[in-house]
Structure 1
Amino acid sequence: MSLVIKKLTKQYNQHKSGLTDYSITIEKGVLGLLGPNGAGKSTLMKIIATISKPTKGTLFLDGEDIVANPDKIRKILGYLPQDFGVYPNLNAYEFLEYIAAMKGVGGSGLRKRIDLLLEGVNLTADAKRPIGTYSGGMKQRIGIAQALLNDPKVLIFDEPTVGLDPEERVRFRQLISDLADDCIIILSSHIVSDIETIADEVAIMKNGILLNKAAQPDIIKLVDGKVFEVLVSNDEIAGIRTKHQVIDTSRQKDKTRIRFITRTGQPEMGAIAVNASLEDAYLFLTQNNN
């Protein structure tokens, strides 16, 4: 299964565009979308989910034009939007049964599937409470469950870990990992570590443009040999910022440890080369492409 997107553009008005000539091929596995606010991640996901139409460009799922024939993807789609809403007076069982009916999912095995999904998102104990009494993280988990109801082959998650505590983030990653061999999974997040631990490939976006898409090791190679750390006095920090791209700082008594990407190719005196990370590569790409 593959999703081929060519020269996708979404123009909202004369002055504002969501995507510009966006081309990407997505295969089975997990594709992580990374980008700052306004990068176009949600716009791309809404178009793939056939909620929004592109201004121009094509999307083909296994050779079928899903702009012209959206039912081709809708039947096998699971989608969790960023602004997912619930019915507060329904409990988890009632809500999932309602969503199942909307998706045309039924049969004798439905209740068992709902039980398994609620167990998977750790909501079994709270399944009979009205959803309106749930915390933000619990509502996010019921949103994840509804996306999986129809045993989808294309899964789209827009900021799925928002509101989840660290334990639930790990549970979500395990759930996605179990599905990845048989599905196309597109996952956006502003939390780089979530993408780092789950994605087979990463697409980095900015201002509606695809900056790079590759396997994580290939993205990280872009900053290999450019990332350093140095311990300096506080009055030296400004000078380093003028010469290098500072990634992180941490105070240590009267000194500050600075992690930076060298712009000059020459590190500071006393700087130590460190292993590059996906976050380093992400910041390098997004802050150096204006």
Structure 2
Amino acid sequence: MTLEIKNLTKQYNQQKTGLSDFSITIDKGVLGLLGPNGAGKSTLMKIIATISKPTRGTLFLNGEDIAKNPDSIRKILGYLPQDFGVYPNLNAYEFLEYIAAMKGVGGPGLRKRIDMLLDGVNLTADARRPIGSYSGGMKQRIGIAQTLLNDPKVLIFDEPTVGLDPEERVRFRDLISEMASEAIVILSSHIVSDIETIADEVAIMKSGKLIDKAIPSAIIGRIENRVFETTIAHTDLEAFKARHQVINTSRQAEKTQLRYISNATEMEAGARNVTAGLEDVYLFLTQNQH
């Protein structure tokens, strides 16, 4: 299964562009989308989900034009938007049965699938409670469950781990990993560690454009041997920033501990070379691209 996106542009008005000549090919597995606010991640996912139409460009799923035939993707789509809403008076069973009816999912196996999904998102014990009484994280988990109701082959998750505690984030990653071999999974998150752990490929976006796309190790390799840590006096920080790209600082009692990227051939006094991570290269690429 392959999703081909070519020269996609979304122009909201003369001042605002959501996507600009965006092209990407997405195969089975998990694609992690990273980018600052306004990068175009949600715009891209809404267009793939056929909720929004592009101004220009084409989208093909296995050679089928999604814009001309949106049902070709809708029937195999699972989508969790960032602003997912629930019906507060329904319990989890009632809500998922309602969403299943909306998606045209039914039959004798439906209840078994709902039970399986509720167990997968750790909501079995609370399934009879009204969703309005759920915490934010629990509502997010019921949103994840409804995304999976129709056994989708294209899954789109926009910030799915917001509100989830670390244990639930691991549970979500395990759930998605099980499905990724048979489906296209597009996952947007501000939690870089989630992307680094689960993604087969990573796409980094900024200002509606694709900056880079590769497997995580290849993207991290862009700054191999260029990430350092050191501790300096507070008063030296601004001068240090003028020489290097500082990507993280931690203020201590008398010093500032910082992590930075450098092209310099000579290492700063007292600095040590450290292993680069996805967050390092993400900050490096998004802060350096205009």
TM over 0.5: yes
Post-superposition CA distance 1:123-151 (Å, at most 9, x none): 00110111111110000000000000000
CA distance in 2, matches of 1:110, 1:170: 26
1:140 corresponds to:
140
Q: 1-side partners of 2:3 and 2:27: how far apart? A: 7
Question: Is 1:151 aligned with 2:151?
Answer: yes
Aligned to 1:62: 62
Is the Cα–Cα contact under 8 Å of residues 243 and 263 in structure 1 kept in the other structure? no
Q: Residue 275 in 1 paired to residue 275 in 2?
A: yes
Q: RMSD of the TM alignment (CA)?
A: 1.0
Q: In the TM superposition, what is the alpha-carbon distance from 1:72 to its structure 2 partner?
A: 0.5
5 Å-filtered alignment, 1:140-179, equals 140-179=140-179
Counterpart in 1 of 2:183? 183
Shift of 1:266: 3.6
Are the aligned partners of 1:227 and 1:262 in contact in 2 as well (CA < 8 Å)?
yes
Q: Cα distance, 1:203 vs. partner?
A: 0.4
Please say if residues 226 and 265 of structure 1, whose CA atoms lie closer than 8 Å, have aligned partners that are also in contact. no
Whole-angstrom CA distance in 2 between matches of 1:283 and 1:263: 15
How far does residue 253 in structure 1 lie from its aligned partner after superposition?
Answer: 4.1
Displacement of 1:271 in angstroms is 1.2
Q: Which amino acid aligns with 1:75?
A: K
Give the CA deviation at 1:239: 1.6
Q: How many residues align?
A: 290
Q: Deviations over 1:229-274 (max 9, x none)?
A: 1122222222211111111122444232211011544431221111
Question: What is the rounded CA distance, in whole Å, between the counterparts of 2:100 and 2:88 in structure 1?
Answer: 17
Paired position in structure 2 for 1:202: 202
Aligned to 1:52: 52
1:152-199 CA distance string (max 9 Å, x none): 000000000001111111110111111111110000011111111111
Mapping of residues 11-26 of structure 1, within 5 Å: 11-26=11-26
What 5-or-longer segments of structure 2 have no aligned partner?
none
1:222 equivalent in structure 2: 222
1:123 counterpart = 2:123: yes
Q: CA deviation at 1:222?
A: 1.1
Please say if residues 243 and 264 of structure 1, whose CA atoms lie closer than 8 Å, have aligned partners that are also in contact. no
Give SS of 1:118's match: helix
TM-score scaled by length of structure 2: 0.98
What CA distance in whole angstroms lies between the structure 2 residues aligned with 1:18 and 1:263? 33
Unaligned runs of 5+ in 1: none
What corresponds to 1:247 in structure 2? 247
In the alignment, does 2:261 pair up with 1:261? yes
Partners of 1:287 and 1:266 in 2: CA distance = 23
Letter in 2 for 1:287: Q
Name the CA distance, whole Å, in 1 between partners of 2:176 and 2:239: 44
Seen in structure 2, the aligned counterparts of structure 1 residues 14 and 265 have a Cα distance that, compared at 3 Å, is farther
Between 1:82-91 and 1:231-240, the stretch displaced more is 231-240
In structure 2, C-alpha distance between the alignment counterparts of 1:208 and 1:196, rounded to whole Å:
22
Amino acid at match of 1:126: D
Which deviates more, 249-258 or 106-115?
249-258
What amino acid does structure 2 have at the position aligned with 1:33?
A: L
Secondary structure of the equivalent of 2:289?
coil
Residue in 1 that maps onto 2:111: 111
Identity within the alignment, %: 74
Query: Partner letter of residue 267 of structure 1?
Result: M
For 1:75, the equivalent position in structure 2 comes to 75
Which shifted more, 265-274 or 28-37? Answer: 265-274
| Distance in 2 between residues matched to 1:252 and 1:235, nearest whole Å | 13
The secondary structure found in structure 2 opposite 1:205 is: strand
- So what's the TM-score if we normalise by structure 1? 0.98
Q: How does 1:7-46 map to 2 (within 5 A)?
A: 7-46=7-46
User: How far, CA to CA, are the matches of 1:265 and 1:56 in structure 2?
Assistant: 45
> What CA distance in whole angstroms lies between the structure 1 residues aligned with 2:260 and 2:59?
39
